[in-house]
Structure formats: structure tokens, C-alpha cells
């Protein structure tokens, strides 16, 4: 919500400084997001008169001007076609920064003639789009005056964040009312703000034909005609206010409705009467009806949506956007002003279905003041007749707005009990009444019609505390139980923290992606089990079945920005049909090792890199890595998202999958606009075996007294035997003596039979109290050979 300081002061009689107002806004819950003074960046520019204009001696399209900016003649070279003697414009001296051209002026020679600054156009100063010539000011503009002062640009624009419950502050008057309650000034009467006559002008002619056939979506529909209008430019003060907050002035009739919407939080719509066929009706749309909206797009409607239509067609998506076919133009002479109340929930559903946002929708779906229809229409009609002429008809009031009157029994002691701040009862009464609440002697409080968010005593406490000052609430420490505090983190939380630190220590970068993906991204991973009925957007409609979509999109963004090595990980939740599952996912893309004088060309990530990450992370998580089996396509594989021949799973037993790893399927990479090879790891934290309950302390580590012994074994095995199966068999041959076994060589070729391969295993033996004898070592070796034979291996001669 944006407004200028001068706009605010139209409603608030105040002597408070800008800083005091900004501090008060944030203090009462209307957080200030930013303040911008457009006059500050144009402080160096002044009003100047062109004394003479001579043709440039070296250029046909340039002129040499002599200008007076208040301190004597200055020579300026200018190429504007409208530059001439006597013109009054805006001069930028050397050293001034021109925002529209992004340059700082300096004394320069242009085609051999010295130029000491420039005469500026509207676009160059970023105060409009015109750029066909330099600015032309009225003949009485004071030469030498700073241009921001002359043009009224020294008017700070305040940007306030309005929470969804504060629909009353979606207009400048509502914000002024809050500030007045906070002691920042006095709220002016509304008739005084709009300079309206004490008595309304008598209507002329019949009232318009409007009605509502949709009391659920549009309970009240008021209308009034103004005949004989002249639609031109809006008055300068109105156009200036709208431009200051980023609204582009269109015409007086349109600008009046926009101004009232922002000023009072009351959206309106104006129709060209000549372009209507019969009266206007608020009704439910017919399935398949279409409307060409003011944004130039055609929308197809359904029978749940409220529209405003005449006898021939739909002209307005009720409460959201008007139609192009009945919009006003410069030729408009008779208008119909619509002021209606639309049900907030219906507006929200329609806007979501059509994916259509507007300033009107923002206000209607929060809930506008249902008691302000008559006054809002009267103000809009007054502005139309005041600035566009014409005569107003009577008002047609079709339907009736909802009655929101309600009474809340309030106990003033609740301010201290719930809000933590003791406020005198009479002070509380004054605060509530200044905000528009009616308070009886026995503390029966009636909220004003514009505060639909207040429905109980705690809400009244919030009003009192925020106006009195949240900063006055004394900090009170929570009681602390004696003794050592118990840990609050669960084992699952501790594990996730540990893995985050470990992954970062391995050079991976943590990413946090959305928990929602689009239907197309979810379909790549088998589809989502949960779809949102009210998504933020179509790209965030499905709760993610995997963390890979978000990480792959992040990898693609990084790759497009030139990243050569991408190492991302995320700890988060997958959302499956049987609930949410904690998962750690890693994506590796680009170069695993950069090119160098020894290695030659760069090396890309491969499935072994993914496997190494998976094993390291599982070991950090406390998984029994030595007991894990690596399984590939022969046991369901890693899934359709992975390359079938370059991926696998790490399992504890035949069914418990602790991790998937490998290269991402090329089809998946194409769906996410990723090229090259991409490796990935998924660790399923919920599948990790639970730790056994132990005491508070483990036995202290004692180094072995004897030196370890290593023995090498070479086995001939079937070519399709996984090396891991042989290593596990050897490691389990004698669990008391064998502490480690690892593969150190694989060989095929001369001396190895067809269909076989040679695997060399290094076995580490750890003696206990005394060294092994030769006989004991032979016994262990026999056990190793026997264990290997069970998986189809034989000792190589």
C-alpha cells in the first residue's frame, strides 16, 4: 500500500515529522517497507528560460542555446526540436545525475561547441514517458527555482505492508485513522477532505436500471448515472498523486475510480452508458461465457463466478476487473457508476480460478466496508460532476449489504492478563472509540463496520496494546526450572543437524527448495500423492514426491549462470501416500575435477562419485556400512529417475533400501533443461536402523596391544559377481580375527578363463593378547577360502 505524505495529510491534521509518522506506523502494526522521495534525485535541476537559440555551426539538428537558470547566461547545446527562445524548461547543470539516461553531466564539447549541462525531457528525468522534446513549463514558472519544489516532487512516497486482516487500511483514510488514534494528529471529516457541499445536489432524471440476481456473490448493487460529462485529463493534483505511487493516469473518469479505491479502500467501476444494452444485472455467469477484460485478455467463465452483465453480454468480472467493451473513452458523455458489495470468499475463488489479480480483487477478497456503499458512491459521483461536469441521476439500491453489527463483552483487565500491559480502563475506552468502536458503560463493545476481523475480546486487547505501544510491554522471562535443562532436540533432529554439517564439510552446498512442484515435474518422478486445492501457482501445485526436482532446477539455474561444478544437497521431506519421509538428497553436476597439466581434460561426475557420497553420508549417520549390499537392476534398480545401467541401491538386507545413487536418467535431465551427466544420491533417513539403547558412557577406547597382520587373497569369480558380495563374505569368515577386508585389484584377460574375473582382496587380521601362530593364520585363511566358495569364488593358483 503506497501513498504520499501530502496525500496522508489530506485526511490527517498533523504537525508530526515524517520520521515520527514512520515510527508510529511500524509501532501500531503497519510496517513501513520503504520511503522514497522522488524530489531528492532531481534536487540539482532548476527551472530555466531559453534566452536565445542559434543554429549549431557544425550540425543541422543541433542548436546552441543561451539559457538563464537564475545566475546569468549559460551556453548549452541542445538537439530537441521544440527548443526555442522564450521557452521555459528544466536545466541540469554539470555534475547533475540524469536518471533516465544513467549519466552524470559534465562540461563537454559537442561537435566543437562547448556545452555546460543540458535542457531535459520528461523521460530523462523519469517523470513520464514523453521524449519528443524538452519539458515546456508555463510562462509564469519562476526561473532559478529548484524543479522538485516547483513541480511538487518533494513529497515522500511511503510503502506500508498491510497484513490480510487489516482490510480497513487498504485505503489512505484507514491508515490516517490509525495514526490519529496513536496520537499523531486529528482525523478530518470526510466531507471536508473532498470539499463536498453541505447539502447534496438534487438528482435529475430517472435512476439507473440495475439489480442483483446473485445475493450470495453480490448482496448489494448500487448505481448512479451522470449525464453530459466531458472526459478529459484528471485534475493535476489527482494525476500527481496517482503517478507518485506508480499508477498511470488514464482519463478523469477512470482516475477518479482509482483514486477513490486507493484513498478510501472502496473499489468502483464506471461504464459508458452508450455501450450498454439495457440495464445491468449482477448474476452468476453461464458456463462457457467469455469476457474481454480491461487488461486485453479474454477469460472463460463458469457458473460459480459473479459477473455484471447487460441484456447482451458480460461486462465485468464482478469485483475483480471490468470489461473492455463498456469502458469509457474520450467520447463518453453518459456514465453509470457502479458501487457494489461482493462476498470476499467468492471473489477469492474466482480470482484463483482465473489466475487474475487486480487492486480491486485485493480489497474485495479482504472485505470492504459494507456500510460505505452509499457514501462511496456519493463521493465518486461528486468527483465526476466536479471535474467532468454533467448532472447526476437518483441512486438505485439493489439488494442490501450484509449486517455486520455485533457486540462483544469486554473486560478491561484482559489487556494486562493477555497483553502483558496495564492500561487504565478510560484510556482503553478512548483508544477503542478513536478507532471507531462503540463502547457502552458496561463494556459492551460494537466494532465498526470496516473491522470485520474483530470478533472477540482478544482482538480488542490487540487493538488497545498496539495503539498504546507494543514497545511498552515489559519483557518478562519465563520461569526456569532448577537444575540442568533437558535437551529438546529429538534424535531425528540431531541426526539431520549432524548430516548437514558433515555434507557441508565434504564440500557440498546446502540448498533449500520449495516443498511444492508443478504437475509436470512431479510426473517425471511418478506423480505426487498430494495436490493442493489452493496453490500459490500452477508451478507449485503438487507436494513433492522427491527432493530431486527442486535440486535439479537449482542445478540448471546455476549451470545457466556459468557454474562449472555444482555440488548441492538438501535435507527435507518427501510427501508420499503413506506420509512425509525425511530424506537427504545430493546432486552432482559439471566437473568433478578441473582440467590440469597432469590430468588433461576435466573429469565429469560419475556413478562412483555418487556411491562414495552415499557411503560417506551413511557412515556419518551411523549406518552399518560394512553390512550394506550394493544392488543394481537385478533387484528393481534405483528407479525410473536413474540411468538403468549406471545406478544402484544400498540395502540392509534384501528389502530395506537405505539409499539410491547413480546417474540421473537422460530423459529426466531433458525435462529439467540440464545437459551432460548428473549424478544424484537419495538417503532415506527414516529407513536407517534405530540405535540400540545404551548407557550414558561407552568404554574408553584402548588401542590393540599387538600389531595387525595383512594377507592378500586372489579369487577367480563369475564375471557377473559383485565385488561387494565377495568382500562381505570374506569379512564375515572369522569375525573375531578379521577386522577389515577390501578389494584392491580386478583383472580379466590372459590367464583368466572366459566368463570369469580375478578379484584380489586384502584381509586385515588383528591378534588379541598374543601374536598369531602360523597354524592360526592358516586356519583363518582356510575360513576365508571356504567363505569365498559360498559365493562362487575359488582361490586362484
Please count the CA atoms within 13 angstroms of the CA of 379 that sit on its side-chain side: 24
What totals of helices (H) and strands (E) does the chain contain, helices first? 20, 42
Q: At what angle do helices 457-468 and 425-434 cross, to 10 degrees?
A: 90
Q: Does pLDDT of 292 surpass 60?
A: yes
Cα end-to-end span (Å), the chain: 85
What CA–CA distances, in Å, run from 184 to 21, 47, 464, 467?
7, 36, 16, 11
Reference 338, options 282, 275, 299, 290; nearest CA is 282
Q: How far apart are CA 116 and CA 571, in angstroms?
A: 61
pLDDT at residue number 130: 73
Residue with cell 522471562: 477
Sequence-distant (≥ 6) Cβ neighbours of residue 103 within 8 angstroms: 97
Statement to judge: residues 143 and 168 lie in one domain: no
* Under 8 Å between Cβ of 794 and 716: yes
Which of the four pLDDT bands, split at 50, 70 and 90, describes residue 695?
A: low
Reference 82, options 118, 119, 133, 47; nearest CA is 133
Domains: count for the chain: 6
φ, ψ for residue 618, nearest 5 deg = -65, -40
462 appears as a binding residue in the annotation? yes
Statement to judge: residues 184 and 253 lie in one domain: no
Q: Does pLDDT of 390 surpass 80?
A: yes
Statement to judge: residues 450 and 586 lie in one domain: no
For the record, the C-alpha cell of 183 comes out as 496520537
State mean pLDDT over 6-20: 95
pLDDT at residue number 477: 87
Statement to judge: residues 352 and 365 lie in one domain: yes
Which of the four pLDDT bands, split at 50, 70 and 90, describes residue 634?
A: low
State mean pLDDT over 614-642: 88
φ, ψ for residue 242, nearest 5 deg = -65, -45
Sequence-distant (≥ 6) Cβ neighbours of residue 477 within 8 angstroms: none
Which of the four pLDDT bands, split at 50, 70 and 90, describes residue 693?
A: low
For the record, the C-alpha cell of 743 comes out as 578389494
Q: Does pLDDT of 242 surpass 90?
A: yes
CATH number at residue 174: 3.30.56.10
Q: Tell me whether residue 480 is in a domain.
A: no
Q: Nearest 5 degrees, angle CA 751-CA 754-CA 757?
A: 70
Q: Does pLDDT of 458 surpass 60?
A: yes
Torsion on CA atoms 379, 381, 385, 391, rounded to nearest 10: -140
> What single-letter DSSP state applies at residue 606?
-
459 appears as a binding residue in the annotation? yes
Q: Tell me whether residue 697 is in a domain.
A: no
pLDDT at residue number 2: 94
Statement to judge: residues 666 and 762 lie in one domain: no
Lowest-pLDDT range of 191-200, 289-298, 321-330: 191-200
CATH number at residue 764: 3.30.70.380
Lowest-pLDDT range of 12-26, 508-522, 621-635, 724-738: 621-635
Q: pTM score > 0.75 for this model?
A: no
Last residue of a domain, which of 622, 654, 687?
Answer: 687
272 appears as a binding residue in the annotation? no
Give the tens place of pLDDT for each residue, 129-171.
777 899 999 999 999 999 999 988 889 999 999 999 999 999 9
Reference 522, options 510, 536, 508, 532; nearest CA is 532
For the record, the C-alpha cell of 319 comes out as 469485483
Reference 356, options 292, 312, 303, 263; nearest CA is 292
Count the helix, strand and coil residues of the chain and give each as a percent rounded to the nearest 5. Answer: 30, 30, 45
Torsion on CA atoms 275, 277, 280, 281, rounded to nearest 10: -140
pLDDT at residue number 607: 94
Q: Does pLDDT of 697 surpass 80?
A: no
Write the DSSP assignment of 671-695 as a string of letters: HTT--S-EEEEEEEGGGSPPPPP--
Statement to judge: residues 637 and 777 lie in one domain: no
Give the tens place of pLDDT for each residue, 565-596.
999 999 999 999 999 999 999 999 999 998 88
**What does the mean pLDDT of the chain come to?**
92
Cα–chain-centroid distance for residue 664? 30
Give the tens place of pLDDT for each residue, 39-78.
888 999 999 999 999 999 999 889 999 999 998 999 999 9
Give the tens place of pLDDT for each residue, 334-348.
999 999 999 999 999
pLDDT at residue number 597: 83
Q: How far apart are CA 494 and CA 479, in angstroms?
A: 26
φ, ψ for residue 334, nearest 5 deg = -125, 130
For the record, the C-alpha cell of 554 comes out as 537449482
Which of the four pLDDT bands, split at 50, 70 and 90, describes residue 704?
A: confident
- Nearest-Å Rg of the Cα atoms of the chain is 39
Q: Tell me whether residue 778 is in a domain.
A: yes
Q: How far apart are CA 725 and CA 787, in angstroms?
A: 11
Statement to judge: residues 528 and 674 lie in one domain: yes
Q: How far apart are CA 468 and CA 415, in angstroms?
A: 11
Give the tens place of pLDDT for each residue, 742-783.
999 999 988 899 999 999 999 999 998 899 999 999 999 999
Residue 57's domain comprises: 40-151
Give the tens place of pLDDT for each residue, 545-570.
999 999 999 999 999 999 999 999 99
Which of the four pLDDT bands, split at 50, 70 and 90, describes residue 480?
A: confident
Paired residues of 299 in beta bridges? 291
Q: Sign of the CA dihedral 767, 771, 774, 776?
A: negative
Q: How far apart are CA 450 and CA 372, in angstroms?
A: 9
Reference 372, options 361, 380, 383; nearest CA is 380
Q: How far apart are CA 474 and CA 718, in angstroms?
A: 77
What CA–CA distances, in Å, run from 555 to 547, 551, 660, 772?
12, 6, 19, 54
pLDDT at residue number 360: 95
Last residue of a domain, which of 151, 179, 197?
Answer: 151
For the record, the C-alpha cell of 23 comes out as 515510527
Q: Tell me whether residue 117 is in a domain.
A: yes
Q: Tell me whether residue 454 is in a domain.
A: yes
Q: Does pLDDT of 447 surpass 90?
A: yes
DSSP strand pairing (509-510 vs 565-576): parallel
Q: Tell me whether residue 201 is in a domain.
A: no
Give the tens place of pLDDT for each residue, 84-131.
999 999 999 999 999 988 899 999 999 999 999 999 999 999 887 777
For the record, the C-alpha cell of 547 comes out as 527432493
Instruction: Return the percentage of the chain with pLDDT > 70, whole number.
Output: 99
Statement to judge: residues 348 and 457 lie in one domain: no
- Helix (H/G/I), strand (E/B), else coil: 326: helix
CATH number at residue 597: 3.30.930.10
- Helix (H/G/I), strand (E/B), else coil: 428: helix
Residue with cell 496522508: 8
Statement to judge: residues 461 and 573 lie in one domain: no
Statement to judge: residues 671 and 725 lie in one domain: no
Statement to judge: residues 457 and 576 lie in one domain: no
What CA–CA distances, in Å, run from 379 to 170, 362, 370, 456?
17, 21, 16, 33
Q: Tell me whether residue 73 is in a domain.
A: yes
State mean pLDDT over 292-296: 92
φ, ψ for residue 305, nearest 5 deg = -100, 140
Q: Tell me whether residue 652 is in a domain.
A: yes
Strand (E) or helix (H) holding 386: helix 373-388
Q: Does pLDDT of 441 surpass 90?
A: yes
Give the tens place of pLDDT for each residue, 127-139.
877 778 999 999 9
Q: How far apart are CA 51 and CA 70, in angstroms?
A: 12
Statement to judge: residues 666 and 531 lie in one domain: yes
10 appears as a binding residue in the annotation? no
CATH number at residue 103: 2.40.50.140
Amino acid at each position: 500500500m503506497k501513498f504520499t505524505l501530502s496525500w496522508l495529510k489530506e485526511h490527517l491534521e498533523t504537525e508530526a515529522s515524517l520520521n515520527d509518522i514512520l515510527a508510529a506506523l511500524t509501532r501500531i502494526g503497519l510496517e513501513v517497507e520503504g520511503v522514497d522521495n522522488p524530489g531528492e534525485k532531481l534536487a540539482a535541476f532548476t527551472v530555466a528560460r531559453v534566452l536565445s537559440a542559434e543554429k549549431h555551426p557544425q550540425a543541422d539538428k543541433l542548436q546552441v542555446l543561451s539559457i538563464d537558470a537564475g545566475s546569468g547566461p549559460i551556453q548549452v547545446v541542445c538537439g530537441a526540436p521544440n527548443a526555442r527562445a522564450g521557452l521555459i524548461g528544466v536545466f541540469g547543470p554539470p555534475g547533475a545525475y540524469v536518471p533516465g539516461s544513467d549519466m552524470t553531466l559534465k562540461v563537454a564539447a559537442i561537435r566543437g561547441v562547448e556545452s555546460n549541462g543540458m535542457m531535459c525531457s520528461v523521460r530523462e528525468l523519469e517523470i513520464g514517458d514523453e521524449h519528443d522534446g524538452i519539458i515546456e513549463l508555463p510562462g509564469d514558472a519562476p526561473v532559478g527555482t529548484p524543479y522538485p519544489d516547483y513541480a511538487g516532487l518533494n513529497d515522500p512516497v511511503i510503502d506500508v505492508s498491510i497484513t490480510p486482516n487489516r482490510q480497513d487500511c487498504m485505503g489512505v483514510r484507514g491508515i490516517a485513522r490509525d495514526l490519529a488514534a496513536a496520537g499523531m494528529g486529528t482525523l478530518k471529516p470526510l466531507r471536508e477532505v473532498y470539499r463536498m457541499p453541505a447539502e447534496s445536489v438534487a438528482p435529475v432524471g430517472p435512476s439507473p436500471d440495475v439489480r442483483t440476481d446473485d445475493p450470495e456473490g453480490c448482496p448489494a448493487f448500487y448505481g448512479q448515472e451522470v449525464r453530459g460529462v466531458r472526459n478529459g485529463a484528471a485534475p493535476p493534483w489527482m494525476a500527481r498523486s496517482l503517478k507518485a505511487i506508480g499508477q498511470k493516469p488514464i482519463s478523469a473518469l477512470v482516475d477518479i475510480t482509482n483514486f477513490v479505491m486507493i484513498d478510501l479502500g472502496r473499489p468502483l467501476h464506471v461504464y459508458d452508458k452508450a455501450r450498454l444494452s439495457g440495464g445491468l444485472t449482477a448474476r452468476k455467469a453461464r458456463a462457457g461465457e467469455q469476457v474481454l477484460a480491461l487488461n486485453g485478455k479474454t477469460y472463460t467463465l463458469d457458473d460459480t463466478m459473479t459477473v455484471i452483465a447487460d441484456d447482451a453480454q458480460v461486462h465485468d468480472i464482478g469485483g475483480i476487473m471490468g470489461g473492455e467493451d463498456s469502458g469509457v473513452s474520450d467520447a463518453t458523455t453518459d456514465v453509470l457508476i457502479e458501487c457494489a458489495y461482493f462476498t470476499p470468499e467468492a471473489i477469492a475463488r474466482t480470482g484463483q480460478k482465473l489466475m487474475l489479480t487486480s487492486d480491486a480483487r485485493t480489497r474485495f477478497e479482504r472485505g470492504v466496508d459494507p456500510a460505505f456503499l452509499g457514501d462511496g458512491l456519493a463521493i465518486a459521483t461528486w468527483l465526476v460532476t466536479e471535474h467532468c461536469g454533467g448532472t447526476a441521476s437518483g441512486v438505485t439500491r439493489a439488494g442490501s449489504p450484509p449486517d455486520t453489527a455485533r457486540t462483544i463483552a469486554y473486560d478491561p483487565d484482559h489487556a494486562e492478563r493477555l497483553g502483558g500491559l496495564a492500561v487504565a480502563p478510560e484510556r482503553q475506552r478512548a483508544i477503542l472509540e478513536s478507532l471507531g468502536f462503540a463502547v457502552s458503560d458496561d463494556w459492551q463493545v460494537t466494532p465498526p463496520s470496516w473491522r470485520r476481523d474483530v470478533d472477540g475480546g482478544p482482538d480488542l486487547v490487540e487493538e488497545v496494546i498496539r495503539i498504546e505501544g507494543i514497545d511498552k510491554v515489559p519483557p518478562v522471562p519465563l520461569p526456569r526450572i532448577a537444575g540442568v535443562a533437558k535437551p529438546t532436540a529429538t534424535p531425528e533432529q540431531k541426526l539431520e543437524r549432524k548430516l548437514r554439517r558433515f555434507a557441508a564439510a565434504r564440500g557440498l552446498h546446502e540448498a533449500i527448495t520449495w516443498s511444492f512442484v508443478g504437475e509436470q515435474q512431479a510426473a517425471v518422478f511418478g506423480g505426487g500423492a498430494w495436490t493442493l486445492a489452493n496453490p500459490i501457482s500452477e508451478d507449485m501445485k503438487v507436494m513433492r514426491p522427491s527432493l530431486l526436482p527442486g535440486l535439479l532446477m537449482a542445478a540448471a539455474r546455476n549451470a545457466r549462470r556459468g557454474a562449472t561444478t555444482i555440488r548441492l544437497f538438501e535435507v527435507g521431506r518427501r510427501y508420499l501416500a503413506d506420509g512425509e519421509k525425511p530424506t537427504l538428497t545430493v546432486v552432482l553436476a559439471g566437473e568433478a575435477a578441473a582440467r590440469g597439466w597432469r590430468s588433461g581434460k576435466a573429469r565429469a561426475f560419475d556413478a562412483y562419485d555418487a556411491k562414495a557420497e552415499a557411503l560417506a553420508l551413511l557412515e556419518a549417520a551411523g549406518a552399518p556400512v560394512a553390512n550394506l549390499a550394493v544392488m543394481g537392476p537385478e533387484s528393481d534398480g534405483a528407479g525410473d529417475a536413474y540411468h538403468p545401467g549406471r545406478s544402484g541401491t544400498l540395502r540392509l538386507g534384501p528389502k530395506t533400501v537405505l539409499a539410491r545413487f547413480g546417474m540421473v536418467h537422460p530423459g529426466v535431465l531433458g525435462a529439467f533443461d540440464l545437459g551432460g551427466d548428473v549424478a544424484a544420491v537419495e538417503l532415506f533417513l527414516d529407513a536407517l536402523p534405530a540405535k540400540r539403547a545404551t548407557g550414558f558412557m561407552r568404554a574408553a577406547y584402548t588401542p590393540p596391544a599387538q600389531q595387525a597382520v595383512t594377507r592378500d587373497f586372489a579369487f577367480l569369480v563369475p564375471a557377473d559377481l559383485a565385488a561387494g558380495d565377495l568382500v562381505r563374505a570374506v569379512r564375515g569368515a572369522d569375525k573375531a580375527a578379521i577386522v577389515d577386508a577390501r578389494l584392491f585389484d580386478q583383472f580379466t584377460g590372459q590367464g583368466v578363463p572366459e566368463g570369469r574375473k580375478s578379484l584380489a582382496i586384502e584381509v586385515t587380521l588383528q591378534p588379541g593378547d598374543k601374536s598369531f601362530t602360523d597354524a592360526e593364520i592358516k586356519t583363518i585363511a582356510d575360513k576365508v577360502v571356504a567363505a569365498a566358495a559360498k559365493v562362487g569364488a575359488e582361490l586362484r593358483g
